[in-house]
Amino acid sequence: MDTDATESGFQPHKLSSNSKDYCLVSCIGRGSFGEVYKAIFKPTYVPSADGTISDDQFLAVKIIDMEESEDDIACIFTEVFFLANLKNNTNIVKYYKTFSIGSQLWIIMEYCGNGSCHGLMKKLPFDKFLNEKQISVIVKQILQGLQKLHYEQKVHRDIKLANVLISNSGAVKLTDFGVSAQIREKQQKLNTFVGSPNWMAPEVILNNFDKNYKKGYDEKIDIWSLGITVIELVEKRAPSPDKDVRKILQATIKRDPPTLNQCSRNISDSLKDFVNCCLQKDAEKRLSAEELLKHEFITKFAGCDEKGIVNDLLSSLLDHKGNNLEISANVFVDMSNNLTADSDELDKHNDTEFTFDSIDKSATGSFRQRANTFPNSAENHTPVSLQEEKPVEQSTIETSEQEKAAKLQSEPVGSYYYDKVVDVVFANVAKRCLNLDALNASQSLRALFRMTEKLQPGFSNVFVEELWLRIKSKQQE
Residues annotated as catalytic (active site), given as ranges: 158
Report how far residue 384's alpha carbon sits from residue 122's, in angstroms, rounded to the nearest whole number: 61
Characterize 411-425 residue by residue with b for buried, 16 or more Cβ atoms within 10 angstroms of its Cβ, and e for exposed. Answer: eeeebbbbebbbbee
Question: β-pairing, 34-41 with 325-326?
Answer: unpaired
Asked if residues 15 and 369 have their Cβ atoms less than 8 Å apart, the reply is no
Asked if residues 280 and 122 have their Cβ atoms less than 8 Å apart, the reply is no
DSSP code, position 288: P
Asked if residues 226 and 142 have their Cβ atoms less than 8 Å apart, the reply is yes
Q: What number of residues does the chain have? A: 477
Nearest to 283 by CA among 155, 163, 182: 155
In degrees and rounded to multiples of 5, residue 195 shows phi and psi of 125, 180
Asked if residues 205 and 101 have their Cβ atoms less than 8 Å apart, the reply is no
Report how far residue 46's alpha carbon sits from residue 322's, in angstroms, rounded to the nearest whole number: 17
Q: Which amino acid is at 111?
A: Y
Asked if residues 454 and 66 have their Cβ atoms less than 8 Å apart, the reply is yes
